[in-house]
Structure 1
Amino acid sequence: MALIKLTAAERRKISIFFTCLILAVITWLFFSLSGKYEYEVKTVVNFKNLPVNKAFNPLQSDTVTLTVQGTGWQLLFTRLRLYPRDVKVDLTGLSKRNYVTFTDQMRAINAAYSSEQKIVSVNPDTLYFDFSTRKVKKVPVRLVSKLSFVKQYGQSGKIELKPDSVTVTGPAEALHNISYWETDSFVRENISNTVTDKIALHKASAPNITIFPPLTEVKIPVEQFTEKQLYLPIRVVNNTQYYNVKLIPERVKVTFMVSLSDFENAVEDDFEAVVDLSIWKNYGANMLPIKIVKRKSFARIRAVEPSQVRFIIKK
């Protein structure tokens, strides 16, 4: 099929036509997207100015739907990036009633958003609350951590938390099941020195529970470790009929890693090796495995030689 041949003048006219068409579309888009539109965004409710002497339970979800008025450009590019990502509700009014409305607080709520975005309405508009007496409880802080150390280094002492407890305030029924409070995840890698740092406590999952203080200081003693060996006597357990048991051998060599500061202090009394005679009595075993049931704090067992022993029963 032969191609249509156009003259230079015709090609120029077609080029002008498409240029005008593209400019017209761009102009239309510009004016259309510059207009005002309304769209919906789901967001989380956070509370401020909580009642001092009351514990409250919201009777609805902590997620609401905002109807936001903005330009077409915002609808196109920022619908999913409403800022801030939550809406703060003032609970001062709960001193006189058991509900608050977004309508009453719309001016204050809009003040937290961009001037180009305006919240028109919130669904639901009214939040209802159930009240109970606030209780106070003191619970220990539990560190949530993931630690890794440089080779031949490790934790050499008990982790210290200051403060090591937190005061939790909220409804009695909510505090009943709280026996400790976790920190945020504390992650450190390639540790070779003692770690001292501040870490935030995990935020309360319910808005009617508060914690104080919100931070704790963590100290993790870290030292270089070295290898040490000890020969330990083996004790027989579960010898309920008081047999005369002879173990071969009667001592076991334990190889372990210990911090440099504890090297001289790591002695035989810090460890205990046992064999369980009930394994022979119940299963007829002719060898008994050795278990290390006691070891020095923060020592790491590397080898137990032999791992099991022969024995002779003298009835």
Structure 2
Amino acid sequence: MGRDVIYKQYQKVQGIVRLWFDQLKQDKNLVVFLIFLVISTGFWFLNALRKEYTATLSYPVKFVDLPENKMLPEDFRGRIEVKVKAVGFVILRYQLSNAFLPLTFSVSEMQSLKTASGEEGVFTITSTEKNKIAGQLSQGMELIDISPDTLFVPLAEKGNARVPVKILADIGFQKQYLQAGEIMVQPDSVTISGPKSIVDTIRFIQTRKIDLQGLSDTVTTNVPLVIPPRVKSSVKKVTATIPVEPFTEINLKIPLRIYGLPDSLRIKTFPSSIQVSFRVGISKYGTIDESHFSAVIDASPVLRSDRPERLKVRLDKAPINIESLSFSPIFVEYLLEKKN
């Protein structure tokens, strides 16, 4: 319904415009008058632009040659106002242009200053820079005055650090596939710079989250870094490689190792070994055997008056490049005997 109302209003306005043009065509005197009015207004405007005017213009300021251990605060935006004399064409060109060059100041040529509040920086008296500023103005401008008379530039301590890249990922695989090792990142560390008070607190740079599901083959992707505010990084993206391969399930029999008994006692467990089950990538099949595992039992609880009926098994050693590791049994029965 709203569309119908808008369309009716559009037709109404269109009809009014057509009626006005029809009347304009019929009244030739009005047409001639409007043409001459436009021409005379144009001549008047061109004549006005040929005259000289005084105007105050605001220029951005660019600072160069900063010390290596210093930087400009993020929120610092230097500007100066210059009072100039120029013909209207030059002033109009400046005011209509959004691409005018900033005025450039060399920090190395400015004088050091520490304010009463403890803020460190450099300053210059703008009147002493009059010739330099005049040389950077648009051609045809005569410099009359500069404001402010003193230009203060605060400088912050700059910090640099090399920090590792941390991958944030949510990865899923098709059936019978798994991640075949650590995610490889290139580069694995980046150089960051910024205010020293911020850089000193950064321990790593994290990536945006990688969300990849249903993988059945190795994937390489570019991942943007999450750079903290006011900090710059040597790179914006890293390359992450997620190794993927089919897996096989392996079952091994691991003997139990017992500790915590005095030499006068011995113990037998039932069973005397456990069964471990795990998944491993095809590329690592055959490289893992019983020697890579260690299953132990702390038998010291049997020396208490309230000795337990069963003892708990603990897997003391296992490879890091396997998945879905489990073992059984978790508890074993035992028989305690005295040695002869």
TM-score, shorter chain, exceeding 0.5: yes
Shift of 1:255: 1.4
Q: Is 1:231 the counterpart of 2:253 in the alignment? A: yes
Q: Is 1:164 the counterpart of 2:188 in the alignment? A: yes
Q: 1:143 aligns with which of 155, 167, 178?
A: 167
Q: Indicate how the Cα distance of structure 1 residues 292 and 152 shifts in structure 2: closer, same or farther if over 3 A, else same.
A: farther
In the alignment, which residue of structure 1 is the partner of 2:200?
A: 176
Correspondence list, 1:154-303, <5 A:
154-204=178-228, 206-207=229-230, 209-236=231-258, 239=260, 244-277=266-299, 284-303=307-326
Which letter maps to 2:71?
A
C-alpha distance in 2, partners of 1:241/1:182? Answer: 52
Shift of 1:247: 2.3
8 Å CA contact retained: 1:201, 1:214: yes
Give structure 1 stretches of 5+ with no counterpart. 1-18, 31-47, 61-89, 100-127
Which letter maps to 2:258?
V
In the alignment, which residue of structure 1 is the partner of 2:26?
A: none
In the alignment, which residue of structure 1 is the partner of 2:132?
A: none
Q: Indicate how the Cα distance of structure 1 residues 314 and 301 shifts in structure 2: closer, same or farther if over 3 A, else same.
A: farther
Correspondence list, 1:73-88, <5 A:
none
Q: Structure 1 length as normaliser, TM-score?
A: 0.58
May I ask how many residue pairs the two structures share in their alignment? 217
Deviation sequence 1:40-70 (CA, Å, 0-9, x none): xxxxxxxx9997843344569xxxxxxxxxx
Deviation sequence 1:241-283 (CA, Å, 0-9, x none): 5663332222111111111121111111222222334565677
Shift of 1:284: 3.5
Deviation sequence 1:80-123 (CA, Å, 0-9, x none): xxxxxxxxxx9977957889xxxxxxxxxxxxxxxxxxxxxxxx
Structure 2 residue matching 1:290: 3-state secondary structure: strand
8 Å CA contact retained: 1:200, 1:216: yes
Q: 2:329 aligns with which of 302, 306, 315?
A: 306
Q: Structure 2 length as normaliser, TM-score?
A: 0.54
C-alpha distance in 2, partners of 1:222/1:161? Answer: 15
Which letter maps to 2:211?
V
Deviation sequence 1:212-251 (CA, Å, 0-9, x none): 11111111211101111111122335x2756633322221
In the alignment, which residue of structure 2 is the partner of 1:55?
A: 71
Deviation sequence 1:109-165 (CA, Å, 0-9, x none): xxxxxxxxxxxxxxxxxxx99632212100111101000000111011122111110
Structure 1 or 2: larger helix share? 2
Root-mean-square deviation (Å): 3.8
Higher RCO (Cα < 8 Å, 6 or more apart): 1
Q: Indicate how the Cα distance of structure 1 residues 303 and 159 shifts in structure 2: closer, same or farther if over 3 A, else same.
A: same
In the alignment, which residue of structure 2 is the partner of 1:78?
A: none
Give structure 2 stretches of 5+ with no counterpart. 17-61, 77-101, 111-120, 124-151
